[in-house]
Amino acid sequence: MLAGFRVTDAATTWCQLASILSLDDLVIAGDSFILVPRYPDKRAHTPRPYTTPELLRQRVSKYHGPGKRKLVGALELVRIGAESAAETRLRLLMIRSGLPEPELNVDISDARGVFIARGDLYYPRWKVLVEYDGDQHRTDTETYESDMTRADDLRASGVTMIRVRKAGLGPKRARTLLSIRRALSLAGWHAP
């Protein structure tokens, strides 16, 4: 029961969504269901994470309904740490293009160990950070000012930051991938 309604648990719901969602949307839902939030909402009816990767695996192994093959494929792509649908879409775009898989929403510190920022998609080995910026990063003055200071601090610590906006996941995705590939290559990464 949730808020007076009978509902299925998250892992079961995820399996049932396989018949109506695309593979990418199923991965986005899976990422959302297993997210362990940095700042949990203590007022929420159901605390996050809503389920675990292990429980998703168990349910998929027992599931025999429509979309089973899609579920198996999505399960291989679901990761803990994505905090938005756009971050998941960006990660999928990156790994499908042959880029290495980044770490998700990790703390980045300077050489002395002082916290600088929390990064969306980060390659610590090459000090390359890929950030998805929603429109609030442009329209909210306080967010914009904070972003500029943060970018300066990251740059000063040797981190290369690639900012991706909505078009970078759509019509300008080739440019997005080129920018990330170039930054990784300059930092010493070699494509397999």
Looking at residue 139, its amino acid is T
pTM > 0.95: no
The Cα 4–Cα 6 span in angstroms is 7
Low-confidence ranges of the chain (pLDDT < 50): none
pLDDT, position 140: 62
The Cα 60–Cα 65 span in angstroms is 10
pLDDT, position 61: 96
Q: Where in the chain are the domains?
A: 10-75, 85-186
- Tokens representing 146 are 């904070």
pLDDT, position 184: 98
- Domain 85-186: CATH superfamily, name plus number: VSR Endonuclease (3.40.960.10)
pLDDT, position 106: 95
